[in-house]
Structure 1
């Protein structure tokens, strides 16, 4: 390696934990949930071709910009002895998780139709909230953030997610309508399955009725 080059760690995936503690190892995995979430959203767009997936990705970018701006404005350091030099208020991980949780809850609760059954919806809510809380706990336990930093991150994520979802859904002039008017997305067969009642059940029944699928 050239002497002029400086090696640095990728901070988004760098997690330092106590190797002698199983709990510490588990929380180190859990704290990477936002990374897994980004991959899941990309797969959701690639394989499902859903407009909702696009709104999440675009919203995540806005949410990240808000987080960076707030960190620079507040300029609160991370708790000692955290080795990361970046500011810690608010927590980007907790903000990202609660942004998605807020988007999903607001989206499903404001739809005229019921894309999911009540038990499916409640299970999804419980899963997302639990994962988000675990990420918050992991950030504090591993020493990357204080309790106040993850709480503020969660609140900011909820607020940004709420208003971002309203921008896409409210009225015919919402950003979702704008996305649906893009011809390139139509050519790629993008759709809004959340407009259908129990869309997962419908797709399953259609698959059973398809002659090609039943061969």
Structure 2
């Protein structure tokens, strides 16, 4: 019999690590964070229809396109002990998580200004938002560090990736802020195709879980009053 057709490996989640090293195993899971965040983006965009999340995802894709271009311009090889393919400068993982964490921090600290609509539920305090921002930045740092630990990148490649992600996040935040100020976001939300998908812009002023909570409280109170009667 003739040999069967050789099979290829889908490298999207193909991560090399040392099975005898628990830290290496943890780093292998950290390597999947960007893929997980893409799932989170898609889920939140579909479930909330918030234009702010869509804008952030658009910036994330632009950051990835920049990384693709930079790698092919700089053409710096990965470390010699690296088993994968492609150029290493800058680290796409580091750039991805740096953009995400900085964008999230900028949103929570400067753009998200929720009002306190009810005494029964108060929005996230500035301290809580600082804590969430700090956790996002620490998580991004762990993902970036894991790329060096697994020998997928040199420290310089990771640092440049982080720098590119931070610069892109700040630039995108300023660009979307300007778009809001001149009315481009409001104009886009009035387009027929955008209205067809029921896109909205509430998360900037609304608490992250308040809208559904208010509806539930009204329903719960009405139900309780009905039972009393």
Give the TM bin, normalised by the shorter chain. Answer: 0.7 to 0.9
**Distance verdict in 2 for CA 1:82–1:202, change over 3 Å:** same
Helix, strand or coil: the match of 2:11? coil
**Are the aligned partners of 1:91 and 1:145 in contact in 2 as well (CA < 8 Å)?**
yes
Once the two structures are TM-superposed, the CA of residue 46 in structure 1 deviates from its matched residue by 1.1
Partner of 1:149: 157
User: Structure 1 regions of 5+ residues with no counterpart?
Assistant: none
Q: How many positions carry a matched residue from both structures?
A: 214
Once the two structures are TM-superposed, the CA of residue 6 in structure 1 deviates from its matched residue by 6.0
**Distance verdict in 2 for CA 1:77–1:198, change over 3 Å:** same
Once the two structures are TM-superposed, the CA of residue 10 in structure 1 deviates from its matched residue by 3.0
Partner of 1:90: 90
Q: What's the CA shift string for 1:87-132, capped at 9, x where partnerless?
A: 1000000101011112122223332724742233123202211110
**Distance verdict in 2 for CA 1:142–1:206, change over 3 Å:** same
Which of 192, 206, 209 is residue 183 of structure 1 equivalent to? Answer: 192
Partner of 2:217: 208
Counterparts of 1:67-78 in structure 2, within 5 Å, are 67-78=67-78
**Distance verdict in 2 for CA 1:102–1:34, change over 3 Å:** same
Partner of 2:177: 169
> Take 2:64 and 2:222, find their aligned partners in 1: how far apart are those partners?
42
Which protein shows a greater Rg? 2
Cα root mean square deviation, aligned = 2.5
Counterparts of 1:1-215 in structure 2, within 5 Å, are 7-111=7-111, 113-114=113-114, 116-170=124-178, 171-173=180-182, 176-201=185-210, 203-211=212-220
User: Structure 2 regions of 5+ residues with no counterpart?
Assistant: 115-122, 225-229
Once the two structures are TM-superposed, the CA of residue 42 in structure 1 deviates from its matched residue by 0.4
> Take 1:5 and 1:202, find their aligned partners in 2: how far apart are those partners?
55
**Distance verdict in 2 for CA 1:36–1:183, change over 3 Å:** same
**Distance verdict in 2 for CA 1:117–1:48, change over 3 Å:** same
Helix, strand or coil: the match of 1:134? helix
**Are the aligned partners of 1:91 and 1:152 in contact in 2 as well (CA < 8 Å)?**
yes
**Are the aligned partners of 1:95 and 1:153 in contact in 2 as well (CA < 8 Å)?**
yes
**Are the aligned partners of 1:30 and 1:135 in contact in 2 as well (CA < 8 Å)?**
yes
> Normalised by the size of structure 2, how large is the TM-score?
0.83
